[in-house]
Chains A and B, each alone.
Chain A
Amino acid sequence: MLSYILRRVMHGVVSIIGASMLIFVISRMSGDPIVLLLPVDAPQSAIDAMRETMGLDRPIWMQYLIFAGKALTGDFGNSYRWQMPALNLVLDRLPATIELALSALLFSIMLAVPLGVLSAVNRGGWIDTVGKGFAMLGQAMPGFWVGLLLILVFSVHLNWLPAFGAGGVSHIILPAIALGWYPVAAQTRIIRSAMLDVLDSDYIRMGRALGAPERLLVWKYAFRNAAVPLVTVLGVYFASMLGGAFVVEVIFAWPGLGRTVVEAVFARDFPVVQAGVLFTSVLFVVSNLLVDLSYGLIDPRIRHG
């Protein structure tokens, strides 16, 4: 088990280094940040001075080595745009995005699991039809539209929940629903399909023949096995929510990392982009590792050699 973990950590480190190189090169291919930082009528001398101050006058390989060396000590440089340490900008915003992604994931699971299980148990029935319709609706409605709709109903008309910002449980409900809405459909389908397989298996039929209560069979024996495929993709969902939180963060003025990094991309703010992508990569690697390790807890038959 320990060697498996070490191997996975090594893979993760290589992935993160690869991501840092890729983002370093790609961000520099997107254009020159100087033209965005200086007024259009700035003379060449001002442009040259700014380029030198930012270290952008050096060859790209040298820029990367300097970046990598400093990053190891926690120095990601100063944001070109915000003129403050890029790491502080990222670390200040990261908890809000993790909070949002986890809440959205929780919301989607809370909705998808009962929907998927009930659809499978009542295959072809009205609950199944409603579940499928609900899933289709989820896929058809983009997050920004769901977000605006939620604001209109729950903030403007009913005045139950705040329309924007962070600041407590009431603030996170609407953004979490908007972000978690989309994956509900896919998760419901995964659960439904896995449950149908499990409910058809011999041990469930045997349980029924022995007169075991249906609720016990479904939720204790069938669901536990059917949950494995969902858990497998939870890491990916979590990572995609981290990356996809941008739209929801803008709609709800949520002070998260996604909004910060996307704006940094448009502003060619390389230090912030590099720090943001690197930390997102770390989260992605860690969440996938945790998912892999959790298989054994759910299904004792799965053990990592």
Chain B
Amino acid sequence: MKSRTMFMALSLALSPAPALAQATGSLTVAFGAEGTTLDPTKYSAGVDHYFIGQMFEQLIRYDTDLKPVNWLAEKWELQQQDGKAVIDIYLRPGVKFHNGDPMSSADFEFCYERLKDPKVSRWSHLQANVEKFEVIDDLHFKIHFKSPDGDYIAGALQLWALPKKYFEKVGEDGFAKAPVGTGPWKFVSRSVKEELKLEAFDGYWNKDARPGVKDLTIKIIPEDLTRVAAFKSGAVDWIDNVPPSMVAEFKKLPGVKTFTAISGNNLYIDFPTYNPASPFNKLKVRQAVAQAVDMDAIIKSVLFGQGERYAEVGKGSTGYNADLKPYAYNPKAAKQLLAEAGYPSGFETPCYNLTTPREPNVKEMGEAVFAYLGQVGIRCKAQGLEYGAWINLGRRGRSGPPEMDGVLMWMWSQGLPGDPATPWGGHLHSFVAGKGWGSYSYTDDKQADSMIEQLKGTMEQPRREELIRQIAQYKHENVLGGITTYRPVITLAWRDKVEFKPWPFPGAWRGFQEISLKK
């Protein structure tokens, strides 16, 4: 992906939208994937945010420039009380839920209670360091921590506005059928595998950034070519995930606008560094792998240019260091390093590839990586795995075999703009049973462990950024926690009768915060 193209695409998309009056008209858009829940305390994957994020809001969010802005929080600060961290939050007054109830501290306390309950939430561990939730008044509350948790702030203060009174009135099932939030869109109806219908919320608090379209229908069209056909035939006016092979064509289509940007995913090549019996335990072998693969060529040929290389931390993410560059392709040096490591004739190893298309052409990308490894003497016994088997293989601490014993094509999602602390806790910190560290880690390095634990306990942002840069440097030099390869690029397209300014939600660029039809 050429940076110039990216800049132009962003400039086009982020041009100011006209002032919006009363929302009118209707619009049909199409997504390639579908969320499974509309309850923000029950989300299980990034795709859930595509839908939840239209109706529900958090205390902080990232704007169109990926800068954090206070959203439902009017202001907040990190304090110390009795040597413990406290986040003191004042809510924005005048915010209402779609049913007319005013938003208050009790709604966030209710959300916290649900999020920390492992029988409700799939992310209860993210609340594990919170000692208590203290309501001061209707618009003021504090979150007290047992021990500092830097990930809490990095995760946009974690909490969502969840209407306590409404939830208690309609119950779990009632809320699932008719969710109510504070967001710019209110729920109308949903047909699983088919569509979600939304209506612009007249009582929305943000008068500057709100939809200008009254009715929005989000169609679910998983097949790429059908989604493209639906767009070209005029059945929908906006689509996500333009297939990589068609991005160039879409950018030239008359009457069509596109937006291209980095997604929140990060791909890398992992191997069992922790195992003394594995060749990958040797630094020179890992350095050989890092120089054996021509990632630029793979991005160009397999991904049609729709990927951006990165070294440990992606551009724009917390702690990004422009001076840290990916390893250059040098097969000669790779062979030399293998010989120095005691493998002059190379070696044979299992290589595990994901075959489920979690990202475009991810299977083909893995196969290309394996082919490059073979050229320097690392002979892959390739095994394709569907998503369930793949994630099961990557996870540590399972009760039985098989153990991951070779090369594994893996990825982590960090949202937008992203903070690597939580993912590093999962795959760079060594595996510690029952503690949540290293849940998918094949690295065992005391220095890395210590640095990551220090990062977890650091809530002050400037210090966090400094620590992330230090860890990235150490990780890069020692080729630990895998070799970072690329971040996928996504392209959205819409007809030019639509005015659209892409807003990010956690992990995705599909927020219809500002969308309208040209007059």
Contact = CB atoms under 8 A, between A and B. Distances in A.
Interface of A: 30-32, 35-46, 49-50, 53, 81-84, 89, 92-93, 148, 151-152, 155-156, 159, 162-166, 250-253, 255-256, 259-260, 266-268
Interface stretch (B163-171, B383-391, B445-453): B383-391
Interface in B375-429: 386-389, 391-392, 394-395, 397, 422, 425-426
9 contacts: A38-B44, A41-B439, A42-B123, A42-B125, A50-B119, A50-B122, A163-B230, A250-B222, A253-B193
B174 interface: no
A31 B393 CA distance: 11
Is the contact region of chain B dominated by helix, strand, or loop, or is it mixed? loop
B425 A41 contact: yes
Contact of B391 (A30, A36, A84, A155): A36
B42 interface: yes
B118 A165 contact: no
A151 B122 contact: no
A141 B259 CA distance: 36
Contacts of B221: 164-165, 253
B389 A31 contact: yes
Contacts of B229: 151-152, 155-156, 163-164
Interface string B76-113: 00000000000000000000000000000000000000
Interface of B: 36-37, 39, 42, 44, 118-119, 122-125, 128, 176, 191-195, 219-223, 225-227, 229-230, 232-235, 356, 386-389, 391-392, 394-395, 397, 422, 425-426, 433-436, 439-440
A164 B434 contact: no
A152 B439 CA distance: 46
A174 B209 CA distance: 41
Given A36-B391, A259-B193, 7 more contacts: A35-B395, A44-B434, A83-B36, A165-B195, A165-B221, A166-B194, A250-B222
Nearest to A33: B388
B436 A40 contact: no
B223 A253 contact: yes
Nearest to B194: A255
A262 to B, nearest CB: 11
Contacts of A44: 397, 433-434
B431 to A, nearest CB: 11
Contacts of B36: 81-83
B264 to A, nearest CB: 14
Contacts of A35: 388, 391-392, 395
B192 A255 contact: yes
Contacts of A151: 225-226, 229
Contact of A163 (B44, B123, B233): B233
Nearest to A152: B229
Contact of B193 (A53, A81, A93, A148): A93
Given A42-B122, A50-B118, A251 B426 contact: no
Contacts of A256: 193
A40 B439 CA distance: 6
B221 to A, nearest CB: 4
Nearest to A31: B388
B233 A159 contact: yes
B388 A266 contact: yes
A37 B219 contact: no
B440 A41 contact: yes
Contact of B124 (A46, A162, A255): A46
A245 B16 CA distance: 46
Contacts of B192: 82, 89, 92-93, 255, 260
Nearest to B195: A165
The 7 closest A-B pairs by CB, nearest first: A49-B118, A43-B436, A41-B426, A255-B194, A163-B229, A253-B221, A255-B193
B434 to A, nearest CB: 5
B223 A159 contact: no
A38 B226 contact: no
A50 B117 CA distance: 10
B426 A37 contact: no
Q: Which of B128, B192, B425 has the most CB of A within 10 A?
A: B192
A42 B227 CA distance: 34
Nearest to B412: A40
A41 B125 contact: yes
Contact of A39 (B122, B389, B434): B122
A67 B358 CA distance: 32
B122 A37 contact: yes
Contacts of A259: 193
Given A40-B391, A251-B223, A46 B122 contact: yes
B176 A83 contact: yes
Contacts of B356: 266
Contacts of B234: 159
Nearest to B426: A41
A45 B392 CA distance: 18
B225 A148 contact: yes
Given A36-B391, A46-B124, A163 B440 contact: no
A38 B356 CA distance: 18
A164 B392 CA distance: 34
Contact of B232 (A156, A166, A255): A156
Given A35-B392, A38-B122, A40-B391, A253 B222 contact: yes
A253 B394 contact: no
A164 B219 contact: yes
A252 B226 contact: yes
Contacts of B434: 43-45
A252 B225 CA distance: 10
A41 B422 contact: yes
A236 B414 CA distance: 48
A250 B223 CA distance: 6
Q: Which of B39, B221, B426 has the most CB of A within 10 A?
A: B221
Nearest to B233: A155
Given A35-B395, A37-B122, A41-B440, A82 B233 contact: no
Contacts of A49: 118-119, 124
A253 B222 CA distance: 7
Contacts of B118: 45-46, 49-50
A114 B395 CA distance: 58
B219 A266 contact: no
A163 B225 CA distance: 10
A60 to B, nearest CB: 15
A41 B36 CA distance: 20
A49 B116 CA distance: 12
Nearest to B232: A156
Contact of B436 (A31, A41, A50): A41
Nearest to B438: A41
A36 B439 contact: no
Nearest to B440: A40
Contacts of B232: 156
Contact of A162 (B44, B128, B235): B235
B254 to A, nearest CB: 16
Q: Which of B232, B233, B397 has the most CB of A within 10 A?
A: B233
Contacts of B388: 30-31, 35-36, 266-268
